[in-house]
Amino acid sequence: MTFSSLLEFCAGQLPGKTQEAARKEFAKRVGGSRLALRRPGGPIQQSGIQIVIGVATYSEPELALLDQLDASLHGGTDGKARVEVFNVLACAQMDDFQKFIPGINSVYRTPVVAVMADGKLVGQATGLADVKETLARFGILRD
* Cβ neighbour number for residue 70 with a 10 Å cutoff: 19
Do 133 and 121 meet the contact criterion of CB atoms below 8 Å apart? no
- The dihedral through the CA atoms of 96, 117, 46, 70 has a sign that is positive
d(CA 44, CA 42): 7
Q: Name the pTM for this structure.
A: 0.89
- Got the DSSP string for 4-20? GGGG---TT--HHHHHH
H or E, element range at 137: helix 128-137
pLDDT one-digit tens code per residue, 31-71: 999 999 999 999 999 999 999 999 999 899 999 999 999 99
What Å distances lie between residue 142 and 12, 24, 75, 79, 134, CA to CA?
A: 37, 28, 11, 16, 11
pLDDT one-digit tens code per residue, 67-121: 999 998 876 655 568 999 999 999 999 999 999 999 999 899 999 999 999 999 9
Per-residue pLDDT at 124: 95
Higher pLDDT, 23 or 41: 41
